[in-house]
Amino acid sequence: MSSADPLPMPEVVTEAIAVIDLVESTLTANLFGWYAVGRQSLRDLRRLISEVGDGRGLRCLKSTGDGYLLAFHDPKSAEMSAVRAIEAMFELLYHVSRRNNELPEERALNLRCAVHLGEVDVVANDREGPHVSLAFRLQDISRASLPNALNPIAPEQFPLRDYVLCSEEVAGILTRRDKRWKTLSIGLLKLKGFPGWREIFQVVPRPDAAKGEAPQAA
């Protein structure tokens, strides 16, 4: 194919998009060294993501520098891909917590996760489109975002690390499809590049979920 030939149109699918960010990873790498701590931390995270994604339809695992972009696919039900993504996030937090307990503090992995569902363009080991951008906007939400929100929770109620946020779309799916999870509104926010207000939710396991169904971080 010559450089003048048009590229083939990418496949368009509906998938669950997850964004995982390592909290203060740049600071940690600068303090303790990229080769001593930072590189191994990212490799450990990638290995754990691959393990929890196995069997849950993980089709994309791309480094973002300070974390990873993931895509989950279910050929029978797009909505179930969102459920599988949420399962994977909480299993990941569980295994990360166990790992952290066995290592020095400077090697701890502290995560913030966000999950959205929507149509995306499938490109080699990547995903493109506005729904991917929205997932990144979710992951960027912090306590500092709440003063500009409508009906927000108190800033001190917003966790600093090891949590899962989701969009309205994913919250609705969990309500219909899986009773292991509670979705708690943190408020309505304006996300950069997207019109209007969007209600954002934190996902937490229900305390009455069957043991072993919803692993969670300690």
Could you tell me what percent of the chain has a pLDDT over 70? 87
**Burial of residue 148, with CB atoms counted within 10 A of its CB: 0-12 exposed, 13-18 middle, 19 or more buried:** exposed
What CA–CA distance (Å, rounded) separates 26 from 202? 25
pLDDT tens for each residue of 190-209 = 999 999 999 999 999 998 76
pLDDT tens for each residue of 53-72 = 999 999 999 999 889 999 99
Could you tell me what percent of the chain has a pLDDT over 90? 76
pLDDT in the model for residue 214: 47
Question: 191 is written with which tokens?
Answer: 């996300």
Q: Are 204 and 214 a contacting pair, CB within 8 Å?
A: no
pLDDT at 5 over 90: no
CATH architecture of the domain 14-205 equals 2-Layer Sandwich (3.30)
Q: Are 148 and 190 a contacting pair, CB within 8 Å?
A: yes
